[in-house]
Amino acid sequence: MDIKGKIIQKMEPVGGVSKAGNQWKKQEYVLETLDSYPKKVKFDFFGDRADQYVFEVGDIITLSYDIESREFNGRWYTDIRGFKAVKEDPNMVAAAAPYPPAAGEAAPAPAPTPDGGMAAPAPAPMDNTFDQGGVPDDLPF
């Protein structure tokens, strides 16, 4: 599975020695997706991949990952383990996924149809403001 987003947090590397006497290392990150409603995803690179894939806060990456769950003392734990990552060019990401025009900005011109006519214009952006007539908002958020 793949996910694209921006690194918003890099944790301190963790390491140790297993019961079998083998050295291990893990590097954890938090990625925020580039969706309209961004989601935060904590993932890690384990072993040699922790040294192979080193990112900093602000980097935009495409992460290939596996999800694995395990049981310990009657509780289940889920890990998102990265196995490959590609750092993206921030300029290319912005050009590939433009946001809709803000209020007051001109929308793109309609594209011509195959018969030479013009397509219907895009609907005007909606005004999402709500006038409460001076009544204060009592919502907790």
Distance separating alpha carbons of residues 25 and 20, to the nearest angstrom: 15
At residue 115, does pLDDT exceed 90? Answer: no
Question: Residues 118-135: what's their mean pLDDT?
Answer: 58
The pLDDT score that the predictor gives to residue 15 is 94
- pLDDT tens digits along 25-45: 999 999 999 999 999 999 999
At residue 129, does pLDDT exceed 60? Answer: no
Residue 24 banded pLDDT, cuts 50, 70, 90: very high
How many CB atoms are located within 10 Å of the residue 140 CB? 4
The pLDDT score that the predictor gives to residue 103 is 53
- Strand pairing of 75-87 and 2-10? unpaired
At residue 63, does pLDDT exceed 70? Answer: yes
User: DSSP assignment of 46-82, as one string?
Assistant: ETTHHHH----TT-EEEEEEEEEEEEETTEEEEEEEE
Instruction: Give the DSSP H/E element, type plus range, for residue 93.
Output: helix 90-96
- Judge whether 32 and 6 are in contact, CB under 8 Å: yes
Q: Which domains does the chain have, with CATH numbers?
A: 2-96 (2.40.50.140)
At residue 128, does pLDDT exceed 60? Answer: no
